Structure 1
Amino acid sequence: MNLTLIPILVLVAVIVFSGIFIVKQQTAVIIESFGKFSSIRQSGLQFKIPIVQRIAGRVSLKIQQLDVIVETKTLDDVFTKIKVSVQYVVHKDKVYDAFYKLEYPHDQITSYVFDVVRAEVPKMKLDDVFVKKDDIAIAVKAELQEAMTNYGFTIIKTLVTDIDPDAQVKEAMNRINASEREKIAAQFEGDAARILIVEKAKAEAESKRLQGQGIADQRREIARGLEESVDVLNNVGINSQEASALIVVTQHYDTLQSIGEETNSNLILLPNSPQAGSDMLNNMIASFTASNQIGEAMKEQNAKKGIVNKKKGPSNSDNS
């Protein structure tokens, strides 16, 4: 073989192999002939005319995400940074438009995001920005979809992923939140204390009621027992006055005996002469007699007032 043919063969081989190329999955390749658009090649093994045709560029058909941070002011004059994530993809049938009509798609998308966010957020207060972040995302998507469709891009989704107010504003919001929680906690504590007081008062009232009922029952039984004791003594020839005196004396000495049996009781001085019971009985009888006299006098006085009022009634009606 002639040695002069070797360089020629090598050059031919290089030229032939330069016409073979591979396109990856989810990628489109733009082919130009002498600087003019020729064709769009999809994934797989592809061929082009060496020297005449060249690969002008590659366009990804995968879903891409662009994060845009916009600083703007709210309706209540709070500066905040809002992060908007835009997910977009080049439409498979519009690769030509995406490659030739738009030089820098990221810059174009960023400009639209800035425009929409700075038009929507100043209409809202800071609290509303947090609540209505989905409305902001929808507005951004609608604007981008209308604008970017002409360039071969499809907007998949837009998300407001972060809202970052000024540090002093966040600190103030945290203080307000803490104060509100402390206020609610104080209200719950007050309600709990009020419930405890009410329940305690109810318990005390119930205790007093039961205590009073017990005392009433006790006195009722004591009266019944005394009545039965007087009846027994009357049956053996002892009159009512003597029976009452005997019962009072017996109760007196029973009381002295119970006090003496109580080791922890304080010193109490009580009359213990045989006349003590009789004196107590006489005092009780005198008290009952005086009480009855006062009651009878009050009844007579009320009766006299009633008669006088009846006499005055007709005369007053005649005068009228």
Structure 2
Amino acid sequence: MNVIWIVLVVLALVVILSSFVTVQQGNIAVTTIFGKYNRVLFPGLNWKIPIIEKVFKRVSIQNRSVELEFQAITIDQANVYFKAMLLYAVWNQEEETLKNVAFKFMDERSFMQALVRTIEGSIRGFVATKRQAEVLGLRKDITEHVKEQIDKTLEEWGFHLLDLQMNDITFDEVIMKSMAQVVASNNLKAAAENEGQALLITKTKAAEADGNAIKIAAEAERQAAQLRGMGVALFREEVAKGMSMAAKEMQQANLDTSVILFSMWTEAIKHFAENSKGNVIFLDGSSEGMDHTMKQMMGMNKLMDSSKK
């Protein structure tokens, strides 16, 4: 009799203890009665009907991630290799959503397989309409396309796609080498063009500087020549005036002008000898020649005096 009571007490304790269920934070438990959905249990200590109510599945409501590696083919038959990271989570904590998460798939492996294949198929379908040269610049477009295509499907399963990162997009080795060569040739072309532009600018500036130097030198020479001409003209004018005045004074004093002519002639010959630098100069040293020169100077002086008046 005592043994029976002991057994009954033990069974009662087992039943009582099995009536309580602990659900960890970040999880929600789905229960069934005789294999049919009953309710959801939230984090903490929960009570359930002993024996007949069972915890069918514990659903994580935390964010989950998975890495994907797969291959796609472009419209021009180029192989593209993708490495992506998928971030997803349960859509919300509503009862209908949790029922879908718990009962849509037989197990977690089946769900992951369906999720990965769905995303791969969406990306492959998108890449199949693009050329190989376009794919690298379409990371954002691919992500937006995938989200648009599978968000509704995932919602039916009770999940939501939070993010899809295309971590790496590569091609066959031959294509990668050709792309690298294209980039290198474009860089060399750009460098050559920049160098040519720089050389052109340098040459242009040098030519402009040379042209300005020539203009400045020509202007300076022109001004110097003008000043030299003015100096020579003034010198000749003063010489003519001096000789004319000297000749007039000698004529008024009834003196022979040959004396002054001779004196000026000798001074001129002395000046030629000192500054001729070895050049040969032929002069008419006769008295008639000197007299003729003096008359010309006196006539020039009269013309200049009359023009000033």
TM-score by length of 2: 0.73
Report sequence identity in percent.
20
Q: What letter corresponds to residue 167 of structure 1 in structure 2?
A: E
Query: Partner of 2:80: helix, strand, or coil?
Result: strand
- Output the CA distance in 2 between the equivalents of 1:181 and 1:95: 56
Shift of 1:247: 7.2
- Output the CA distance in 2 between the equivalents of 1:55 and 1:127: 53
- Output the CA distance in 2 between the equivalents of 1:228 and 1:198: 44
In structure 2, do the counterparts of structure 1 residues 252 and 132 end up closer, same or farther at CA, with 3 Å as the change threshold? Answer: farther
Q: Structure 1 residue 148 and structure 2 residue 154: aligned?
A: yes
Q: Please tell me whether the aligned partners of residues 25 and 43 of structure 1 are also in contact (alpha carbons under 8 angstroms).
A: yes
Q: What letter corresponds to residue 63 of structure 2 in structure 1?
A: I
**In the TM superposition, what are the counterparts of 1:1-320 in structure 2 within 5 Å?**
8-91=8-91, 92-93=93-94, 94-103=97-106, 104-237=110-243, 250=271, 253-254=274-275, 256=277, 270-271=278-279, 276-278=280-282
Shift of 1:40: 1.3
Q: Please tell me whether the aligned partners of residues 249 and 277 of structure 1 are also in contact (alpha carbons under 8 angstroms).
A: no
Shift of 1:235: 2.1
- Output the CA distance in 2 between the equivalents of 1:245 and 1:130: 100
In structure 2, do the counterparts of structure 1 residues 226 and 44 end up closer, same or farther at CA, with 3 Å as the change threshold? Answer: same
Shift of 1:46: 0.4
- Kindly indicate whether structure 1 or structure 2 has the higher relative contact order, using CA contacts under 8 Å at least 6 residues apart: 2
Shift of 1:16: 1.9
Shift of 1:8: 4.9
- Show CA shifts across 1:56-92 (max 9, x none): 2101112322332220111232211123433332232
Q: Please tell me whether the aligned partners of residues 245 and 278 of structure 1 are also in contact (alpha carbons under 8 angstroms).
A: no
- Output the CA distance in 2 between the equivalents of 1:125 and 1:248: 98
Query: Partner of 1:77: helix, strand, or coil?
Result: coil
Q: What letter corresponds to residue 187 of structure 1 in structure 2?
A: E
Shift of 1:177: 0.8
Q: What letter corresponds to residue 147 of structure 2 in structure 1?
A: K
Q: What letter corresponds to residue 101 of structure 2 in structure 1?
A: A
In structure 2, do the counterparts of structure 1 residues 250 and 3 end up closer, same or farther at CA, with 3 Å as the change threshold? Answer: farther
- Output the CA distance in 2 between the equivalents of 1:201 and 1:245: 53
- Show CA shifts across 1:169-206 (max 9, x none): 22221221111111111111111111111111111111
Query: Partner of 2:16: helix, strand, or coil?
Result: helix
Q: Please tell me whether the aligned partners of residues 109 and 144 of structure 1 are also in contact (alpha carbons under 8 angstroms).
A: no
Structure 1 residues not aligned, in runs of 5+: 257-269, 280-320
Partner of 1:303: none
Structure 2 residues not aligned, in runs of 5+: 248-260, 284-309
Q: Please tell me whether the aligned partners of residues 88 and 157 of structure 1 are also in contact (alpha carbons under 8 angstroms).
A: yes
Shift of 1:132: 2.2
- Show CA shifts across 1:180-237 (max 9, x none): 1111111111111111111111111111222122222222212111111112222222
Root mean square deviation, CA, Å = 3.0
Larger radius of gyration: 2
Q: Please tell me whether the aligned partners of residues 249 and 278 of structure 1 are also in contact (alpha carbons under 8 angstroms).
A: no
- Output the CA distance in 2 between the equivalents of 1:165 and 1:224: 85
TM-score by length of 1: 0.71
- Output the CA distance in 1 between the equivalents of 2:220 and 2:230: 15
